[in-house]
Amino acid sequence: MKKVETMSAHGATTISKSWFRKITALVMALCLTFSYGCAGNSQSSDASGSPSAANSAAEQKFDGKITIGVSAGITGSIPMAGERTLQGVKMAVEEINAKGGVLGKELVIEVADDQSNQSVVINAVNKLASNPDVVAIIGPHLSGSVMAASDTLKKAKVPFLSQGTSPKLRKIGNEYLFKIRPCDAISAEVAAKYAVEDLGAKKVGISYNNNDFGVGGKGVIEEYLTKVGVPFVSEGHNSGDKDLTGQIMKLKNENVDAVISWTDDAESALTARQFYELNLNKPVITSTATSTQQVLDLIDEKAVEGFYSVCDFVITDPSAEVQDFAKRFKEKYGIAPDQYAGNNYSVTYLIADAITRAGKADREAIREALASTKGVSGLSGTYTNDSNNELIHECKLVQIKSKVPQVIKTISVDVK
């Protein structure tokens, strides 16, 4: 066997080539192990301050998991809303885990498809609430679905955070329900007040959906107009209607000075198209739907030009936080975020914050932490809980120009 000669401090030593190879391989392995361990402990970030790939959730060492449920319409009448909801939640979860998770544990989600349907939502929330690992639930988000699911989630004593905005939700007496958007008691009054004080309307038409959301908004608008002595005409429609000609012609024949439309996504698009086709030619103020991209995509630019919308999250909000989120969301998914994405991204962080303040992933402790929330920043404003378990107390008035919602003003109300 050939020998390889080396020098030590004590003189020449001979080592077989096979042993030399073994020692070299061992040294290299130890070096690689040491290098991997150091890399795993690094905290590198990109220029924006967001964690880089080297600090991804996959490389974190977590002491268990914390599960959040998500009830959303993945299929059904408005699947785009469900898709954006999940995208916002998943983006927040990835960021939170990249920073070490919550209480040292990995944040994970369990999703149930409620189809944005009151008859389906019970099964969806039952699935989530019956899993003892689910400590809080995001959704359901439609006011009618919240009404249907409320008793189930109250009995299970699981806190849930919803985008439902109907004033009726104030009366169901569920301390486990938290609302993450401004109530229609706020936003619908903002619409009515703008019609009278800014647009100078002497007679107002109200087009509304005959569901919990639409009827609740209609009631607020009518109450305000009655208080200030402005006459109004109200015309309702149903979810799924395909023709609103009769209702619109009644508003037109009543010679209203402005119209307030309070309805859901599909009917918002239909209303805008038929207002234009029937030459209503009056200022229109709508609920949030008309300012969302999924609705704007269904309407010709000329049909919605000049519309006003009362909303809470919009990507043209000039705030640095919204602009940064919108940029990162589009880079990640290739599309612009809407209010479902923005609000559910924020609420995921809010839940993480509540768990941290509670000090444990326990349903009751999280409910108590959410109830005491004060001054927590979100993309739609500052979360501060009030006596109605409503967390947001401001909304934005936008005007649609070239199918882009432009912020006109932000309106805040006192926390109750």
Distance of CA 133 to the CA centre of its chain: 22
What pLDDT was estimated at residue 56?
Answer: 55
Q: What is the H or E stretch that residue 85 is in?
A: helix 79-98
CB 164 within 8 A of CB 145: yes
Q: Of 354, 320, 322, 356, give the one whose Cα is nearest residue 341.
A: 322
> What is the pTM (predicted TM-score) of this model?
0.78
Angle at 289 between CA 286 and CA 290, to 5 degrees: 60
What pLDDT was estimated at residue 80?
Answer: 86
CA pair distance 343, 388, nearest whole angstrom: 19
Q: Of 399, 286, 327, 361, give the one whose Cα is nearest residue 91.
A: 327
What pLDDT was estimated at residue 411?
Answer: 87
What pLDDT was estimated at residue 44?
Answer: 29
**Number of Cα atoms under 13 Å in the Cβ half of residue 320:** 1
Give the amino acid at 314.
V
What pLDDT was estimated at residue 57?
Answer: 53
* DSSP designation for 171: G
Q: Cβ–Cβ contacts within 10 Å for residue 76, how many?
A: 15
CA pair distance 165, 179, nearest whole angstrom: 7
CB 299 within 8 A of CB 276: no
Q: Of 138, 161, 160, give the one whose Cα is nearest residue 87.
A: 138
Q: Cβ–Cβ contacts within 10 Å for residue 110, how many?
A: 15
Q: Of 220, 274, 225, give the one whose Cα is nearest residue 247.
A: 274
Strands (E), 126-167: 134-138, 160-162
For 237, the 3-state DSSP assignment is: strand
CA pair distance 311, 229, nearest whole angstrom: 26
Phi then psi dihedrals of residue 359, to 5 deg: 80, 0
What pLDDT was estimated at residue 415?
Answer: 64
Phi then psi dihedrals of residue 309, to 5 deg: -145, 140
Distance in angstroms between the alpha carbons of the first and the last residue of the chain = 90
What pLDDT was estimated at residue 355?
Answer: 98
What pLDDT was estimated at residue 412?
Answer: 83
What pLDDT was estimated at residue 292?
Answer: 86
Question: Any residues with CB less than 8 A from the CB of 401 and at least 6 apart, and which?
Answer: 305, 306
CA pair distance 102, 359, nearest whole angstrom: 10
Question: Any residues with CB less than 8 A from the CB of 321 and at least 6 apart, and which?
Answer: 377, 379
For 166, the 3-state DSSP assignment is: coil
What pLDDT was estimated at residue 58?
Answer: 56
pLDDT tens per residue across all 416 residues of the chain: 433 333 333 333 333 434 334 333 333 333 333 332 333 333 322 323 344 433 455 567 899 999 999 999 999 878 988 999 999 999 999 999 999 999 999 999 999 999 999 999 999 999 999 999 999 999 999 999 999 999 999 999 999 999 999 899 999 999 999 999 999 899 999 999 999 999 999 999 999 999 989 999 999 999 999 999 999 999 999 999 999 999 999 999 999 999 999 999 899 999 999 999 999 999 999 999 999 888 999 999 999 999 999 999 998 999 999 999 999 999 999 999 999 999 999 999 999 999 999 999 999 999 999 999 999 999 999 999 999 999 999 999 999 999 999 999 988 877 66
Would the CA dihedral through 376, 377, 379, 380 be positive or negative?
A: positive
Give the amino acid at 27.
V
Angle at 378 between CA 88 and CA 269, to 5 degrees: 55
Angle between helices 79-98 and 320-333 (to 10 degrees): 100
